[in-house]
Amino acid sequence: MRIRADHSHSSGPPLSVDQALALAVDHLRSGRFPQAEALCQRILATAPTHAPTLHLYGIIAYRVGALPEAIELLRRATAADGSAAHFHADLGEILKLKGELGEALLSARRAVELDPRNPQAFHNLGVMHYERGEFGEALSFFRRAIELDPGFADAYCNLGNALRAIGKREDAAVAYRQALAVMPAYAAAYNNLGTVLRELNRLEEAESAYRQSLALNPNDTITINNLALALRDLERFEEASALLDVSLSLAPGHAKTLSYVALLKLDQGRPDEAHAAAQRAVEALPQDPETLNAMGLSLYELGRGEEALAFYRRALACQPNFAGACNNMGNVFKQSGKLAEAYDAYSQSLAIDPRQADVFVNLTDLRKVQAEDPCVAQMEEMARDMDTLPRIARMRLHFALAKTHDDLGNVEEAFRHMREGNALKRAQIAYDEPAALAFFDRIRESFDVDLFKAKAGAGDSSPVPIFVLGMPRSGTTLIEQIVASHPAVHGAGELPEMSDIVARFAPKAGELLRFPEGVREMTREDFAKFGREYAARLRRYSATAARITDKMPSNYCFVGLIHLALPKARIVHVMRDPLDTCLSCFARLFSAEQNHTYDLGELGRHYRKYAELMAHWRAVLPEGRMLEVRYEDVISDLDGSARRIIAHCGLDWSEDCLAFHKNKRQVKTASASQVRLPIYKTAQGRARAYRQYLSPLMTELDDLLDAEGSRG
């Protein structure tokens, strides 16, 4: 049997079937698919059951993306010659790609039966079982492939994938490294190694592995995204965001990338942008647990907790072992005052992955830790490997253990963990203390008596805002909860609105406000415009409430501006014993920036400047403009203190304000669990037990402690 190579050229001797088949193979290898296909068709026209040609034609169809045709041709090849192991192996591979895993598995098994010394056949069979979630079987076949071919890099890599799938992450890392020892330029193995190292909290090593993968394959969006996630874990948000921009430029609209963008936007305090990205991700991948989780997080940050819960539950329906979704559900329950449900959700998250330092922080903060609580033993076990943990995990674990030992009365051990956790946090942040302290002085210099006289009577007349402000951990959440329990009040929590408007406000065309010095140049119209914008933003949180609270503690920097721009707004300044306040700050790993709280000396100097600023406001504001409330007075006389606060807010008295702990509104601050309890006195005088460790702080606060009785 002879075949012409090309119908358009009749000259030249015809080819034998073997010669024609060899030429078709050469065309295929060179990417000349039409020529290869044409030769196969000519061979089959004269020999319809020629098995090698049917097999080759099937491979060509696969290479051009015609999977159904490829499967049909390979079935015909195995029917014509059932003894060729590689026919069955290739058929199985393409059936797997088509999603027909049952038949694919049968083909792969037949290939192994026909050639039990073929490592590729065992590898393919392992892949089939892996795709079916049968990881134990997959492991045995990958190991058999490696026995037959110790230089089989793909088998090592897939062995690592199977080990990772059953939770043997350290073993998986070894397998990936073995793949790289065999094939040093194996980009996928570097990527997989990075992922398992990230899961092991070895973030710096993960970053290195991802970068090695990208050096080999720089436009791989999966690896770019993975590196961005590792940098996010390292809290290098700007670098991570830049990488995701690159990823989206390579694959616009990619749902997974959009879900990661949403997470980064949340980290950067931009929940509206996060929500927009998450919506696009869910529209594209409505059954993907990561996109659903990202949507839940964006809703949570927008104060839509019940909607967030629905998305977390959908994520868990898709992936029941999704530890992050369980943790996030716990946060919603905690915020809503459902503390038992929160405890169960955090515990479920730790049952899935018992080495999550961030979940330990959440769990220990939820309630007073008891010695018999399972989390105590879990944390101590994790702490035995403290030196091997990445910096961020060590930092979080130290804070969780500090809270635990404080609850258990182990003062020395508690403070050791506080000190070490704070040192790790302080090392990772950039805090310009001279500039921060000078900012307080600039505010005092800018807002003098003359300014208030010159600008009096301006601003917007809205009576809606109630500002509850003071140092973090001074009792602001408690006071807001009391006020927000009034039927006419909506508690909006810690809002970024004041600082955001200050940063964006342009009194002059094209010129942003230079705060605080630029306030002197603002006109009466500017103050009214500023106040109107704030009042309009506040209405987003409630369209009907007579009063809306803004409990951002650091609004103490803007008291003078609040007075001028919102002259009918209520201002409540909350104070607490300086040592108790500062120790509570030092014991807390804040989710938002509180860069002055991680060193006792810096904390003391910041507190002093804050105290000086509040004394300045007392001196320059009209009498009665700002109500000052001591936390200790509220504890000793709740009824009298609450009535005084409510009267200052221009409201009639409501008994609901005394039952603040029954208010089920969402509370997202660090004190979310404490305000679900009736008044308790155990936090009062907390610093006394730690005085021997607080010398750097006490030195900075010396005269303030004398004045406020903190030495006793």
Which residue type is seen at 600?
L
Average pLDDT score over the chain = 91
CB–CB of 337/365 below 8 Å? Answer: no
| Domain 435-708 fold | Rossmann fold (3.40.50)
CA angle 305, 310, 312 (to 5 degrees): 90
Task: Dump pLDDT digits (tens) for 66-100.
Answer: 999 999 999 999 999 999 888 988 898 888 888 88
pLDDT of residue 95: 83
Cα-based distances in Å from 345 to 309, 342, 359, 392, 443: 12, 5, 10, 23, 45
Arithmetic mean of pLDDT, 43-65 = 94
- Residue 645: which H helix or E strand, with range? helix 638-648
| Three-state SS letters, 665-712 | CCCCCCCCCHHHCCCCCCCCCHHHHHHHHCHHHHHHCHHHHHHHCCCC
User: What's the predicted TM-score (pTM) here?
Assistant: 0.76
CA angle 360, 365, 368 (to 5 degrees): 110
CB–CB of 442/552 below 8 Å? Answer: no
Cis peptide before 516 (omega within 30 of 0): yes
Q: What percentage of residues in the chain have a pLDDT greater than 90?
A: 78
Task: Dump pLDDT digits (tens) for 641-689.
Answer: 999 999 999 999 999 999 887 766 555 555 455 544 555 566 678 899 9
Task: Dump pLDDT digits (tens) for 158-203.
Answer: 999 999 999 899 999 999 999 999 999 999 999 999 999 998 888 8
pLDDT of residue 675: 46
The DSSP-derived string for 313-360 is: HHHHHH-TT-HHHHHHHHHHHHHTT-HHHHHHHHHHHHHH-TT-HHHH
Six-digit token pair at 513? 């406000």
The Cα 506–Cα 241 span in angstroms is 28
Tell me: pLDDT of 561 over 60. yes
CB–CB of 191/197 below 8 Å? Answer: no
3-state secondary structure of 251: coil
The Cα 466–Cα 629 span in angstroms is 14
pLDDT of residue 100: 82
The Cα 670–Cα 683 span in angstroms is 14
Query: pLDDT grade, residue 623 (50/70/90)?
Result: very high
Which residues lie across from 629 on neighbouring strands?
574
Six-digit token pair at 130? 């892996």
Instruction: Provide, for the chain, the percentages of residues in helix, strand and coil under a 3-state DSSP scheme, each rounded to the nearest 5.
Output: 70, 5, 30
The C-alpha torsion from 359 through 360 and 362 to 365, rounded to 10°, is 180
| Tally of CB atoms within 10 A around 685 | 14
Taking alpha carbons only, the member of 679, 668, 642 closest to residue 337 is 668
The Cα 145–Cα 362 span in angstroms is 45
Q: What percentage of residues in the chain have a pLDDT greater than 70?
A: 94
Tell me: pLDDT of 494 over 60. yes
pLDDT of residue 682: 61
The Cα 526–Cα 565 span in angstroms is 8
The boundaries of every CATH 1.25.40.10 domain in the chain are 2-216
Six-digit token pair at 565? 């721009």
Taking alpha carbons only, the member of 201, 185, 132, 186 closest to residue 155 is 186
The Cα 5–Cα 7 span in angstroms is 7
Tell me: pLDDT of 10 over 50. no
The boundaries of every CATH 3.40.50.300 domain in the chain are 435-708
The Cα 98–Cα 111 span in angstroms is 19
| Domain 2-216 fold | 1.25.40
User: Side-chain half-sphere of 417: how many Cα atoms within 13 Å?
Assistant: 25
